[in-house]
Each structure stands twice: as C-alpha cells, then as structure tokens.
Structure 1
Amino acid sequence: MSDSTYSSLPAINHLAAQQLWEEYLAAFDGAERPREYTAECFGDSPELADELLHAVSHGAKRATSSLEIEYAQFDEPLPEVGRYWMICDGRGQPQLITRVSSVEKRSFYDVDADFAAAEGEGDLSLEYWRREHEAFWRRTQGSMGNEWSPSDTDKPGHKVIMERFEVCWPLKFAH
C-alpha cells in the first residue's frame, strides 16, 4: 500500500528514497536498469513498521501478505514478480530495497504453515499468523469503516495476496 494508506504512519521521505535508489543503481553500473520502485512501511503504526523492518534486515522475514481488496480501495496495482519495493522505517525513512520473487492469491484459510513461517513474525506458526493477521485486517479495514472477516477472502477479488521477496540493497542485508 502507498505511504498514505494508514494515517498513523508517517509520510515517506521520497527524496531519501530516490537517493537510496540511485545508490543501488550505481552499484550495478552497466547492468540493466531495474523498473520503478514503491516505497512503503510495513504495518499500520510506526512501532510495527520498525519491528517488521528489523525482521527483514535480520533475515527472519522474507514474505508479506495483504488483502486484494486493499489494492482496489487505494486504486493501486497488485504486486507482481520483479517489482522493487523499498521498505521504510516507522519514521518514513527508506532502509532496504527488496524485489518481489513470487505472488500468490489464496483464501485466508488456505495460507499454509510454510508461508506463515516465511513471514518471520512471532513464533513463526500458522496459528500465530492467523491470529495476528485477522486482528490486523479487522483493525485496518475497520479504520476505513469496513467490516472484515477471514471468510471474506473466499470471494473473488478479496483474496490474501502472498508475496515472497529477496533483499537487494544494502548488500549487507541481502542474505
């Protein structure tokens, strides 16, 4: 979602994002220039953004999930393999550049334990993933005046978007 998706998150520092992007491109001089990037924070609060950024930078988190309906609500394109995503901290400062390596759509109840573990959160269990993501999506959809439940993801256009990614930059985090 864009930097204005959840009002409790700060605005993204787009100048710093552009500088980090140029640093990344310069490191691969002569290589094919990647496509555009998106700069965003994880979560819906500065604290959650920092917690999840830490999980990515320390190698625990290599996947994320979102609701397909959110992309329609915010008039944004769905994630696609090969897109670059700059992860920002809870102050809106860009920290890491990632590249989407796979995208799947599933019902909430069809998300498996392997994907839950790849999200790198809590005790890495599917039970934790379900509990925390249900609470998160009820909260974020509720903040927009929408009721949400896991069974909503059984409907077309309402699936869970499951993204896996790799860290590209800075190289010290690309494990």
Structure 2
Amino acid sequence: MWDRYAAVHPAAARDGYVVDRFGDSAALSDALLAVVLEGRKRATAELVTEFAARDEPLPRIGAHWVACDGAGRPRAILRSTELRVATFDEVDERFAYDEGEDDRTLTSWRREHRRYWERTCARRGVVWREDDEIVLERFAVVWPPEVADGATPGR
C-alpha cells in the first residue's frame, strides 16, 4: 500500500511512515477503522506515556501512518494535520465529535477513553490519571483514493 501511495505522491512520502492500528484489540481496531473508512472519524487520542512505553516518537504534523485492521492488514494511509497535547479535562466537544466514536459527545468520549486508558495503563503496570498528557491528533485519510478525503462518492 505504501509503495503505491509513494509512487503517486513522492514528495508527500519522503519522510516515511509508521504502521499502527487503533485500539488495544483486534475487535476494537476493526470497529475504529470502520468509522475512519466511513468518514466519521478524523481524530484520535493517545497518552504520551503510551508512545514512550513503545519507544516511539510523538507524531508530527505531516507525518503518515498506515492504519491496519485487527488482523494487521493495511487498510488506509493517514496524514497528521493537527497535534496538541492536553489533559483529560482540556479535551473539548469539538475534538470528541471529530473522533467520531459512539454518539460523538464529550460525555461519551470521556467515559470510553477513561475505560480504555484505565485498562491499557493497568496492563503496563501504571495507574491512569486525568492529568496524564494526551496527544490529540487530527488526521486526513490520503490513501487509497476510493476512501481518501475528498474522494468522489461511488468511485
């Protein structure tokens, strides 16, 4: 998938990419990726400590990532368009809406992300706190052409 994208967009592809998936399980990865492919999800949130635990740098604007499904198959290439670091109580309604999950409200965003981070932090042997730093990332889907932002419906 990356080679096809890079052949069409060589300038955009110069900096390379990461390969990742949403969520912490195959089922959650598939569910979140489906919302991306439908066009509703254009943001994501991850704890700064998660990047550190995986020994990965924080994302940067313009960076690409190949989003895989729960089985590890590449399904879309995303490009970071906006990044900000915030705490749990600094996340606003607009960001919750752009994440596109559940009913898109801040209330559901807080409920579901609290559950998620409590679970993932416990697996790492740490306790999640509301003042932990969160990377809030907005992105565009840039590949494949049939699901890329701006694609013609029915293409």
Conserved 8 A contact 1:134-1:149: no
In structure 2, which of residues 21, 27, 40 is the aligned counterpart of residue 41 of structure 1?
21
One-letter amino acid matched to 1:52? L
Equivalent residue number for residue 6 of structure 1: none
Q: Deviations over 1:43-67 (max 9, x none)?
A: 0010000001100011000000000
Equivalent residue number for residue 145 of structure 1: 125
Structure 2 regions of 5+ residues with no counterpart?
150-155
Equivalent residue number for residue 21 of structure 1: 2
One-letter amino acid matched to 2:5? Y
1:32 Cα deviation from its structure 2 partner: 5.5
Equivalent residue number for residue 49 of structure 2: 69
One-letter amino acid matched to 1:77? P
One-letter amino acid matched to 1:50? D
Equivalent residue number for residue 39 of structure 2: 59
1:27 Cα deviation from its structure 2 partner: 2.2
Q: TM-score scaled to structure 2, two decimals?
A: 0.92
Equivalent residue number for residue 161 of structure 1: 135
- Output the CA distance in 1 between the equivalents of 2:101 and 2:14: 29
1:69 Cα deviation from its structure 2 partner: 1.4
One-letter amino acid matched to 2:121? Q
Q: TM-score scaled to structure 1, two decimals?
A: 0.82
One-letter amino acid matched to 1:46? A
- Output the CA distance in 2 between the equivalents of 1:49 and 1:146: 23
Give the CA RMSD over aligned residues: 1.2
Aligned residues: 149
Greater shift in the superposed pair: 35-44 or 70-79: 70-79
One-letter amino acid matched to 1:116? A
